[in-house]
């Protein structure tokens, strides 16, 4: 996770440790079972379970009712997490050896590979259904909603894997089999499989376990939770194809957060009502959230909305409400009308607590989706076929009407002798921060009128392939067609000064012009009146922050490849002026600008750009719009 927060620096963590050297060092009893639903209060302490505990803020020992879900280490069906003191997470091979053993016990579980990683590992998905469906077609026949749970998109943030293994065990071997009566589960234990195997105890310094943690990015150093829109990575292409093929009704993306200290252990959220899926938002906010939070609370956890502090050193400045763009899982789900939940467990809570909280959330999700499937499917359908006449491409921030009574942790600032800066020192003591301001990007900024269709020349093969991978329906013209369309013209392109996620991003000033043109046979047409029409708009409108244009897939249009020598421009300019009094008047007006008048190159270029020799496609967007 690093959506809106930067993790505390190592310098900060070291100074936190320095301020805590008088605390009592103690090892929490990670196997004690609580007898009631209320977490036990305890004195904040420095733990010593993990190599980085001594440089992290004080922890509060936690025990909740959900500990009753745990099996003893010697139990036949204990997961590797339970077998090794609730502090470790198994390797790729260990994970699937254990899961294969479980799958062999029941015809309700099937395992399929959604594709191979760049290093050749299978990305496995477990299908859990009452009927033992092994294909998308057979799963669809049971007419139940499907929940896709994805763990390890950032492979060090692996809580969902161990929680999912426990839950599958209890569905097949234990007393949770009724969860499949009304719902199917699609479970990807490890999404970033190559990053998962780049595992050491020195990854994710700000996180309390597991002992060994995977790497944040893929083997190609791409962050999968920045890749939904552009879909550069092989892993993401596999996942998008999986979503299109298996058609889940709810998508859960499990992370572990960075940033500040607070009381919540399981936070989760989704895109806002201002987005492209307002009906799904209402289902999530009014039906899903109350049910999940009630179940988490009853099991001794403290659930909450996603936590993004405006200033990590001053909580009183408030919290940020996040309307994610389609590069992120929840923003992508909003664009394609797939209700998507971003789970952010709190990194400073022990691994055991986070895994158990995730288990409770996943169990509650299956139960709630089964009970409320009709309303969920109706909300999805309403969003898919709304076809809003205006589409918002970007958002501006404003303070929200309602504040947040924030369950935080007390802290103070202290001058660091190491950095020379003021640093935060969390005390571990719970503190309520009443009515904190909430700032959210909820005001529409750039909006466009919905195009009825887009046309893409056949030579833009990479762009077309990405759209197909997203599942967007397209057709090809069978013959030359003359049409009146709209085209964007770019000026003042600004290229990013450094690489971002393997791409050189670009932005530019945009103007729109009406043109008449003849489309060649084979031109790709994308009708926006389709379930993924809104996603197509966000990918193809150049002012959309996650458009394929801004991600650099159209950068060749900014390259000039034909030129004219000065000795040829001079006589050409004289000829043009002689033939056009209007051009003469326009040139004289241009000379009124002293910067232009004193720039010989600019004056010659002025004529070249107005001549028939100039490249008429230079800095013009090849994707055409139909009103």
Mean pLDDT of 441-454: 98
pLDDT for position 313: 93
pLDDT for position 42: 59
pLDDT band at 562 (very low <50, low <70, confident <90, very high): confident
Give me the sign of the Cα torsion angle 548, 549, 551, 552. Answer: positive
pLDDT for position 15: 32
Instruction: Report residue 181 as tokens.
Output: 């009566």
pLDDT for position 107: 97
Is residue 96 a contact partner of residue 384, using CB atoms and an 8 Å limit?
A: no
pLDDT band at 258 (very low <50, low <70, confident <90, very high): confident
**Residue 360 within a domain:** yes
Interval 144-153: pLDDT, tens = 999 999 999 9
The answer on 570 and 439 residing in a single domain is no
Mean pLDDT of 121-141: 98
**Residue 198 within a domain:** yes
3-state secondary structure of 160: helix
**Residue 11 within a domain:** no
The answer on 468 and 424 residing in a single domain is no
**Residue 48 within a domain:** no
Examine the residue annotation and report whether 565 is marked as an active-site residue of this protein. no
* Residue 38 reports pLDDT greater than 90: no
Picking from 459, 457, 460, the residue whose alpha carbon sits closest to that of residue 477 is 457
Nearest-angstrom CA–CA distance, 498 and 363: 43
Cβ-in-10-Å burial (0-12, 13-18, 19+) of 462 comes to: exposed
Could you tell me whether strands 481-495 and 506-519 are parallel, antiparallel, or unpaired per DSSP bridges? antiparallel
* Residue 552 reports pLDDT greater than 60: yes
**Mean of pLDDT over the chain:** 92
Instruction: Report residue 605 as tokens.
Output: 């270029």
Lookup result for tokens 């762009």: 463
Range scoring the smallest mean pLDDT among 63-67, 468-472, 508-512, 563-567:
563-567
* Residue 97 reports pLDDT greater than 80: yes
**Residue 482 within a domain:** yes
**Residue 92 within a domain:** yes
pLDDT band at 260 (very low <50, low <70, confident <90, very high): very high
- CATH classification of the domain holding 167: 3.40.630.10
Could you tell me whether strands 122-128 and 184-188 are parallel, antiparallel, or unpaired per DSSP bridges? antiparallel
* Residue 18 reports pLDDT greater than 60: no
Query: In angstroms, what CA-CA distances link 107 with 91, 134, 186?
Result: 25, 10, 15
The answer on 195 and 123 residing in a single domain is yes
* Residue 429 reports pLDDT greater than 80: yes
Mean pLDDT of 194-210: 95
Interval 384-425: pLDDT, tens = 999 999 999 999 999 999 999 999 999 999 999 999 999 999
pLDDT band at 1 (very low <50, low <70, confident <90, very high): low
**Residue of 235, 344, 363, 541 marked active site:** 344
Could you tell me whether strands 184-188 and 319-321 are parallel, antiparallel, or unpaired per DSSP bridges? unpaired
pLDDT for position 26: 30
pLDDT for position 40: 46
Which domain, by its residues, includes 586? 566-609
Q: How many distinct structural domains can be found in the chain?
A: 4
pLDDT for position 60: 85
* Residue 14 reports pLDDT greater than 80: no
Q: Please state the separation of Cα 209 from the chain's center in Å.
A: 23
**Residue 196 within a domain:** yes
The answer on 423 and 345 residing in a single domain is no
**Residue 59 within a domain:** no
The answer on 576 and 487 residing in a single domain is no
The answer on 424 and 312 residing in a single domain is no
The answer on 253 and 318 residing in a single domain is yes
Interval 482-538: pLDDT, tens = 999 999 999 999 999 999 999 999 999 999 999 999 999 999 999 999 999 999 999
The answer on 508 and 580 residing in a single domain is no
pLDDT for position 59: 87
pLDDT for position 43: 63
The answer on 116 and 206 residing in a single domain is yes
Query: In angstroms, what CA-CA distances link 86 with 211, 353, 360?
Result: 10, 9, 16
* Residue 582 reports pLDDT greater than 80: yes
The answer on 458 and 379 residing in a single domain is no
Nearest-angstrom CA–CA distance, 622 and 627: 16
Picking from 265, 426, 409, the residue whose alpha carbon sits closest to that of residue 346 is 265
The answer on 456 and 437 residing in a single domain is no
pLDDT for position 72: 97
The answer on 287 and 196 residing in a single domain is yes
pLDDT band at 49 (very low <50, low <70, confident <90, very high): confident
Q: Which residue has the higher pLDDT, 523 or 566?
A: 523
* Residue 20 reports pLDDT greater than 90: no
* Residue 200 reports pLDDT greater than 70: yes
């Amino acid at each position: 996770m690093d959506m809106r927060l930067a993790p505390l620096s190592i310098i900060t963590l070291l100074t936190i440790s320095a301020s805590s050297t008088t605390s009592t060092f103690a090892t929490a009893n990670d196997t004690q079972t609580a007898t009631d639903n209320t977490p036990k209060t305890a004195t904040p302490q420095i733990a010593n379970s993990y190599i980085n505990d001594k440089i992290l803020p004080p922890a509060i020992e936690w025990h909740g009712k959900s500990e009753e879900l745990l099996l003893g280490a010697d139990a036949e069906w204990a997961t590797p997490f339970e077998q090794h003191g609730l502090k470790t997470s198994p390797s790729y091979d260990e994970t699937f050896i254990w899961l294969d053993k479980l799958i062999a016990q029941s015809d309700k579980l099937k395992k399929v590979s959604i594709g191979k990683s760049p290093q050749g590992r299978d990305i496995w998905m477990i299908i859990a259904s009452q009927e033992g469906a092994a294909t998308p077609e057979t799963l669809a026949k049971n007419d139940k909603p499907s929940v896709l749970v994805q763990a390890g998109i950032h492979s060090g943030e692996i809580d969902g894997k161990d929680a999912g293994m426990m839950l599958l065990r209890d569905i097949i071997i234990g007393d949770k089999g009724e969860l499949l009566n009304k719902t199917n589960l699609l479970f990807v234990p490890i999404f970033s499989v190559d990053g998962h195997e780049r595992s050491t105890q020195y990854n994710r310094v700000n996180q309390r376990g597991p002992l060994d943690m995977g790497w944040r990015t893929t083997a190609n150093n791409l962050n999968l939770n920045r890749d939904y829109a552009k879909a550069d990575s092989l892993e993401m292409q596999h996942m998008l194809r999986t979503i299109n093929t298996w058609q889940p009704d709810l998508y859960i993306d499990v992370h572990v957060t960075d940033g500040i200290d607070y009381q919540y252990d399981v936070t989760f959220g989704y895109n806002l009502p201002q987005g492209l899926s307002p009906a799904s938002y209402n289902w999530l906010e009014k039906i899903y959230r109350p049910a999940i939070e009630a179940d988490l609370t009853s099991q001794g956890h403290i659930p909450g909305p996603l936590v993004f502090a405006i200033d990590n050193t001053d909580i009183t400045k408030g919290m940020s409400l996040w309307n994610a763009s389609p590069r992120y899982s929840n923003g992508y789900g909003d664009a394609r009308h797939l209700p998507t939940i971003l789970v952010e467990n709190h990194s400073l809570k022990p691994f055991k607590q986070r895994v158990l909280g995730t288990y409770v959330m996943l169990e509650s999700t299956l139960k709630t989706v089964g009970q409320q499937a009709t309303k969920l499917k109706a909300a999805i359908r309403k969003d898919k076929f709304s076809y809003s006449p205006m589409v918002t491409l970007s958002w501006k921030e404003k303070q929200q009407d309602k504040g947040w009574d924030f369950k935080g942790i007390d802290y103070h600032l202290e001058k660091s002798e190491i950095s020379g800066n003021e640093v935060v020192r969390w005390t571990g003591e719970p503190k309520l921060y009443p009515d904190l301001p909430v700032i959210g990007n909820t005001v529409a900024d750039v909006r466009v009128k919905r195009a009825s269709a887009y046309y893409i020349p056949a030579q833009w093969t990479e762009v077309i392939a990405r759209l197909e991978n997203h599942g967007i329906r397209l057709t090809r013209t069978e013959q030359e067609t003359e049409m009146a369309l709209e085209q964007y013209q770019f000026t003042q392109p600004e290229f990013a000064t450094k690489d971002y996620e393997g791409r050189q991003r670009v932005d530019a000033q945009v103007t729109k012009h009406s043109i008449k043109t003849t489309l060649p046979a084979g031109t790709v047409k994308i009708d926006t009146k389709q379930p993924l029409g809104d996603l197509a708009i966000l990918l193809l409108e150049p002012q959309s922050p996650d458009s394929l244009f801004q991600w650099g897939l159209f950068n060749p249009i900014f390259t000039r490849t034909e030129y004219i020598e000065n000795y040829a421009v001079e006589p050409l300019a004289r000829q043009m002026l002689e033939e056009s009094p209007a051009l003469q008047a326009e040139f004289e007006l241009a000379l009124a600008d002293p910067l232009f008048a004193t720039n010989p190159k600019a004056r010659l270029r002025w004529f070249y750009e107005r001549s028939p020799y100039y490249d008429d496609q230079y800095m013009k967007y090849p994707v055409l719009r139909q009103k």
